[in-house]
Amino acid sequence: MKQLDLKVTQEGNDSDWLGYLEVPVRETLQTQGYFRVVLETTPYLIRAETHERHYVVKVEINSGPKYRLDEIHFSGGTVFAEAELRAQFSLHHGELFNASEIRDGLESMTTLYSRKGLIDMTPEPVINIDEKNLLIDVVVKIQEGKQYRVKTVEIHGLDPQAEQALKSQVEPGQVFDEIALRKLIKKHMAGLRTDILNDVIQVRRDVPNDSVDLLVDFRPCPKT
């Protein structure tokens, strides 16, 4: 909690930061099965300076009972077998319910679908709680969306050899696999940071034609 960088604007409510303060407490407890933890946070101002305020904070925790996972089910999916979708989640029946691992599983599902060009797939988890047996059942509702193919590829800022090598592996007409594209770019640009990679790749959807236009741009931003 002490590592958080908590700030508010002069126009903002001075208590807005309290919600951020509760996040690591709630997340820590929810990784240990306390899915319904309730927090009450009370700040006490002890010193006010021109640009800074100092507080003592009391956090009262009502952890509630520990829950365990019952099952994870899926509805609406047609591309992958349920067993393959279930394999994206590391949490198993009877283990302490870990909200963080459920989120990781949903992200892994998104990656799995993205590799098939289904970049608009959205997984919606629905939680059902058996209070008597302290079990949580999860149903993941899947909206798969369209499968996109590559329409055009435009590359700037690479030497001709690297540009040609990249274009030869991302050709118009093939299923768009953004994960493979990222790996290719990192291969040609060793040491490229992930946050920069997000700026380098631009994907423009052509929804009526189920296709994407790709722009890979390594040119430096113009100075202002």
pLDDT in tens, the chain (224 residues): 888 888 777 666 667 788 888 999 999 999 999 999 999 999 899 998 888 888 899 999 999 999 999 999 999 999 999 999 999 999 999 999 999 999 999 999 999 999 999 999 999 999 999 999 999 999 999 999 999 999 999 888 777 887 887 888 888 999 999 888 888 777 766 555 555 666 778 899 999 999 999 988 877 766 65
Position 3 scores a pLDDT of 83
SS3 170: coil
At 82, phi and psi to the nearest 5? Answer: -60, -35
Q: Look at the pTM and tell me if it is higher than 0.75.
A: yes
Residues making up the chain, counted from first to last? 224
Position 224 scores a pLDDT of 56
Domains and CATH numbers, the chain: 1-65 (3.10.20), 68-143 (3.10.20.310), 149-217 (3.10.20)
Position 12 scores a pLDDT of 62
At 98, phi and psi to the nearest 5? Answer: -120, 105
